[in-house]
Amino acid sequence: MRIEIGKFAGFCDGVKYAVEEAFLIASKTSDTIYVDGKLIHNPQTLDMLESSGVKTYTDDLGASTLNGKSVIIRAHGVSPERKKILIDNSNKVVNLTCKYVGRIQSIVKKHSNDGYRVIIIGNASHPEIIGILGFANKSDTFVVLKEESIDCLPTTSKKTLIVAQTTLEQKLFTKLVALIKEKYNENDITVKNTICNATELRQNEVLEIAERNDAVLIIGGKESSNTKNLYNIAKAIKPAFYVEYKKDLDSIDLSKYKNIGIMAGASTPDWFIEEVASSIKEEYTKKYKKAISKTLNFILDSYLSHAIAGILLSFAVYNILSQKFNYSIALIVGLYYFSMSLINGYTNHALKISDKNKYTLYQKNKYVFYTLIALSIIAMISLSYKEGIDALSLTVFSILMGIAYNVSFKNLKDSKIKYIKILSKLIPLKSLIISFAVTILLNGLIFLTNEDVLSEYRVLAFLFCISMVFLFMFMRQASIEIKSSQSDKIAGSTGLTTYINIKHLIALTSIMPVIVLMAMILGIVKGYYPLNFDKTKYFIPVIYSSIIFQILIRKPVYSNRYLFYLLIDTPLYLAGILALISYLFY
């Protein structure tokens, strides 16, 4: 079964901003925060908000409930009268109205004040429309959604403004505007197509997805207007199924379809789309493929793949430096990357959202993994002891720093331990710290156990090794951060994307391999770097890492999680395999 996920599926900018801001506000206080109505129409996200102390406020709770509390105005917006009530009864009001909804409010207010009749095409009971109505002259403002509603409009012609609900179906808007123009003098009518651009992109894409596939799954809340429209568009072309919860898949039989398209509403988080896609793949996969899938799942989730990557990368560094391979050093690096990643798996509280499969595996097998972590640390200390006091000191220092840094994830920002408080401030720099840790340990151990590493003809090669290891590690971590930024922010986690705009992070990460390649070429031109395949072959994984990164950032949601991790890890494997070829055949 082939699964295609729409590239515009999931959170729109307005919803993403509202959700991330709500969780950010919640992370800064232990007090209850209220949202005036449901922040968005997605049950999974609302459940998480509730567990984070963000509750939904409705009038039946009484205005006194808001006394001394912070209250959030949701993405749908509210009327000026409603906003005044919230301000008068709460300690603080945070306005998270979507900028596109705010634009409609401004347009309606201006034209209404200029004496225009206002016709809003949309659902009169939708919170967005209720809020917009508060900006208009109620006696001369009308809401229509069906053809028959047009017959109820005033018969006299006057200056008229027509706007649309941001999530309205484009086809319906065009149709109703044409009918309204037939009713009145067209010269008196001003039409503002206020359908959100993201809504239009989704609607166009779901048409294309339906045409390319045998059936379509629409993921989103049943109360979501834009999700309902996507479902109606899809089912007019192909068999379509509405999925609000993962359990909804139990009543859907997809066995007769070979190609499944997936589209999601603007309130649906990426991690839930991936969860649904993964469940479908698992359910309709043949037995032997399931066995392979479970094996790959364990290798990835247990971080055994990290151990392998660390060992292979060690091969590459030794080969570049023309040094005899040291299995002990390679094992130390592999075990370090493996054990610290496992520890991070237990301390990273965003994992429960971003990767439930991994989270479940860790909880079920925690004593097994705890034992593996302990054995790995013992093995690292034992192996480094045999390599000398310098290697032992660097290894022990790296282990202690790694453990302490990971412990700082466990909500210890209020810890009285000064060292832990300092480390907790470094959490946003996780990608940099992991990259530096592996780079320093691998290159540092080789430097400490090989006296001639910094001989005149090897200095550039050693600098290249440092650059290459850091490049591969950072590009891997940056790819994960960019992909997981949504779930991390929902969980209240911080990372580079919290402080660096994703576009800037992408630009920074994209230019890094170019700098490394330019340095290598300059070294060759100046005669500092040997122009032979045994050394220049490492151009291949550097170029490959750049290409893979560009592919990854263009696809935020993956139906196959193995593919994503395989792609981000292959530069490390490729470098190691190239080194192995040299050791075996040269």
pLDDT tens, residue order, the chain (586 aa): 889 999 888 888 888 888 888 887 887 777 889 999 988 888 888 888 887 888 999 888 888 888 989 999 999 999 999 999 999 999 999 999 999 999 999 999 999 999 999 999 999 999 999 999 999 998 999 999 999 889 889 988 889 999 999 989 888 999 999 999 988 877 789 999 999 888 889 999 999 999 999 999 999 988 888 899 999 999 999 999 999 988 999 999 998 999 999 999 988 888 888 889 888 887 887 777 777 777 877 787 788 888 898 999 999 999 888 888 899 999 999 999 999 888 887 776 667 666 677 778 888 888 999 999 999 999 999 999 999 999 999 999 999 888 876 664 554 444 455 544 554 555 557 778 888 889 999 999 999 988 777 765 667 778 888 888 999 988 888 887 777 665 555 555 556 666 677 778 788 888 888 888 887 787 777 666 666 666 778 889 989 888 888 887 776 666 566 777 788 888 989 999 998 888 777 6
* Cα dist from 280 to 57, 195, 546, whole Å: 36, 32, 31
What pLDDT, on a 0 to 100 scale, did the predictor assign at position 246? 87
Say yes or no: 457 and 420 in one domain.
yes
Encoded amino acid at 388, one letter: G
Residues 6+ apart with CB under 8 A from 168: 121, 122, 195, 199, 225, 229
Decide the pairing of beta strands 92-95 and 160-164.
unpaired
| Residue 337 falls inside a structural domain | yes
Instruction: Identify any residues that bridge with 141 across adjacent strands, giving them in sequence order.
Output: 118
Residue 255 lies inside a defined structural domain of this protein: yes
Do 382 and 522 lie in one domain? The reply is yes
Cα dihedral 232/236/241/242 (nearest 10): 0
Q: Which residues are catalytic?
A: 128
- 279, 307, 341 - which closes a domain: 279
Which pLDDT value is given to residue 176? 94
**Cα dihedral 264→269→275→280 (10° resolution):** 0
Residues 521 and 545 in one domain: yes
Residue carrying structure tokens 């039409």: 191
Are 328 and 376 members of one domain? Answer: yes
**Inside any domain, residue 288:** no
Amino acid at 508: L
The answer to whether the CB of 366 falls within 8 A of the CB of 402 is no
| In contact, 409 and 427? CB cutoff 8 Å | yes
- In this structure, are 240 and 217 located in the same domain? yes
Last residue of a domain, one of 174, 195, 216: 195
DSSP summary character for residue 144: E
For the record, the structure tokens of 557 come out as 């949601």
Domain-located, residue 5: no
Domain assignment of residue 357, yes or no: yes
500-526: b (≥16 Cβ within 10 Å) or e: beeeebbeebeebbeebeeebeebeee
- Given 132, 165, 195, the domain boundary residue is 195
Q: Note whether 478 and 431 are within 8 A (CB).
A: yes
First to last CA, the chain: 44
- CB contact burial 15-26 (16+ within 10 A = b; e otherwise): bbebbbbbbebb
Co-location of 465 and 355 in the same domain? yes
Indicate if 66 and 125 belong to the same structural domain: no
The residue to which tokens 């969980």 are assigned: 491
Does a structural domain hold residue 484? yes
Q: For residue 491, give the DSSP letter.
A: T
Strands (E) across 546-585 are located at none
**Cα–Cα distance between 156 and 574 in angstroms, integer?**
74
Q: Which amino acid belongs to residue 307?
A: A
Residue 503: phi and psi, rounded to 5, are: -60, -40
Model pLDDT, residue 414: 45
DSSP 146-196: SHHHHTTS-SS---EEEEE-TT--HHHHHHHHHHHHHHS-GGGEEE-----
Q: Are strands 92-95 and 117-121 parallel, antiparallel or unpaired?
A: unpaired
DSSP 8-state secondary structure symbol assigned to residue 492: T
Give tens-digit pLDDT for 412-453: 444 455 544 554 555 557 778 888 889 999 999 999 988 777
Q: Whole-angstrom Cα distance, residue 554 to residue 502? A: 12
pLDDT at 2: 87
**pLDDT tens-place string over residues 276-321:** 988 888 788 777 777 777 787 778 778 888 889 899 999 999 988 8
What is the total count of domains within the chain?
A: 4
Given this model, what pLDDT does residue 411 score? 47
Contact between residue 391 and residue 449 where contact means Cβ atoms under 8 Å apart: yes
Helices (H), 429-538: 430-449, 459-490, 496-499, 502-526, 533-536
Among 28, 211, 30, 190, smallest CA distance to 116 is for 190
- Specify whether 408 is located in the same domain as 513: yes
Predicted pLDDT at 96 = 92
Q: Output the six-digit token pair for 101.
A: 């909804």
d(CA 37, CA 162): 27
Radius of gyration of the chain measured on its C-alpha atoms? 29
pLDDT, position 413: 44
Q: What is the CATH number of the domain that holds 78?
A: 3.40.50.11270
Containing domain of residue 49, as a range?
11-97
User: In whole angstroms, what is the distance from residue 246 CA to residue 250 CA?
Assistant: 8
Pull the structure tokens for residue 322.
């023309």
150/263 same-domain check: no
pLDDT of residue 401: 82
Q: Are residues 443 and 573 in the same domain?
A: yes
Alpha helices in 240-326 (DSSP H): 270-283, 287-301, 304-320
Write the CATH number for 187: 3.40.1010.20
Q: List the 117-121 sheet strands across, edge first.
A: 141-144, 117-121, 160-164, 189-191
Q: Is residue 284 part of a domain?
A: no
- Which pTM does this prediction carry? 0.70
Shared-domain flag, residues 65 and 144: no
Q: In this structure, what token pair is assigned to residue 109?
A: 């207010």
Q: Both 380 and 417 in a single domain?
A: yes
In a domain, 151, yes or no: yes
Compute the distance between CA of residue 210 and CA of residue 426 in angstroms, rounded to an integer: 46
Amino acid sitting at position 384: S
Distances (CA, A) of 246 to 93, 166, 280, 560: 34, 27, 10, 17
